[in-house]
Structure 1
């Protein structure tokens, strides 16, 4: 669940993005898994979902590098775009469930970004480095990662 006020708007990075409404101080917790609002699927639970549900959810979820669970946020956190110099990320002592903090001060109106590779085991799929039918967490070759800059 987003813990700061945000809005969805067109992004210079990709399609739509998530933007801070108010200034955010570095170190502020900006997202936290909230049971009952956000959903955590075990990999087995995710695979049992109907195919169309999996296809939809995969675009809007992340696969936790910490425990392999598929996390689907109940709000618009799915509009946080990938960036190699992000303004949010996991705290150094991260453990499930995932929490995200501001890595530096964020200005009002600034796009909220994160480096998908820091927490999402399905990053290569989201960035188009593996075929669309690849299983959750499929990895691209090292050469493909270098070419895309992640």
Structure 2
């Protein structure tokens, strides 16, 4: 009986754990310095929770920004809850980690893109990518090509 090491799934789990660790720190101490996050997630994920008007406006995916104002950040094992401001209307969201498509902190040029499973491998893959490829306005429907970069470039 032969088995393979499922590197794609291991990377997927590790990178989502990194996001959880970062959010736990933010929940405890707040956002330091100029750090802020662009988080794109699948609005159709069965465990994602958002107002009907938001899911109607952003079918399939939505990018949220954690920067100047957010409230009620509650980081759990499988996802996080947060209240964000949409046109002066606070709205609670629940975003499962496995619904996240991209996570970007442009202040330090850090970004992750989570690729969907394909039929051949049946696993998810996560890869660090160029921040410029990931950061766009939340309403922008353009899908830039990803450029894989080495994590070494982010180490000091």
Q: Normalising to structure 1: TM-score of the pair?
A: 0.28
Which has the larger helix fraction?
A: 2
Greater RCO, 1 or 2 (C-alpha within 8 Å, sep 6+): 1
Rg comparison, structure with higher value: 2
